Structure 1
Amino acid sequence: MDAPSPLLLGVHHVALIGADYARSKDFYTRILGLRVLDEHYRAARDSWKLDLALPDGSQLELFSFPGAPPRPSRPEAQGLRHLAFRVAALEPMIARLAAADVACEPIRTDEYTGRRFTFFADPDGLPLELYEIP
């Protein structure tokens, strides 16, 4: 039996809400190096929306909403557990984060794939992962 053709083609974007828009924008653009695609202030919501590009064509949407509640716990709250970024090598990105005073956990190895990874946090404590695929 032939497998059905896939209906889902990939991830288009992941949406994040930051507590401090300027701080989060700086983190994702200057520190992580994501490129700005578009930015809008939505007066009716008193909210910013920033579209950021990753090299593979996927995107991050960064929002600000006044009074947004904090994440209940890290990382085992229901919902998104963490966001993982694919990198060719961990060390250059870890060095870039360290230069910006962003701490990374010790490098671990995935017991199933043998790939190396580490976790760090964005300015709001959102757990982010670097996953090495050379």
Structure 2
Amino acid sequence: MTDRKPAIVLVDDLRSFVDGRPAEVARTSSAGVELLDRHRSNRLDELWLDHDLGDDDTIWPVVEVLERAAFECRPFDVGVVIIHSANPAGAAKMAQALRRWNYPVRVASGDPAVGYVDGVGSADRQAGP
């Protein structure tokens, strides 16, 4: 057995884990891409993705990184991609794109694990600006 803590990444512009679980959080797509780059050679147990990231930003640059890696026969090692977007059309397109490349996807719109909390939990480590 190993004492390795689960590697969890959350890409969401506003929400955090309400239970304070340790996760790396990206608030923009560019910060999400940076987090993926940092985890390129490591397993991600959970990758939580929101579609709309504020203003004109969306999750698509992150999805494109995952797709490109799979296309190049080097997919990211992800236990599960959890799409928690409140945008049904965006969530469906994300799921379709990622399943095409055999990423394990669960659509969990409205999942109570993520919500609007005051500030970012102390266990969260911000990525990006």
Task: State TM-score, norm by structure 2.
Answer: 0.29
**Larger C-alpha radius of gyration, 1 or 2?**
1
Name the one with the larger helix percent.
2
Which one scores higher on RCO, CA 8 angstroms, separation ≥ 6?
A: 2
Name the one with the larger strand percent.
1
Task: State TM-score, norm by structure 1.
Answer: 0.28
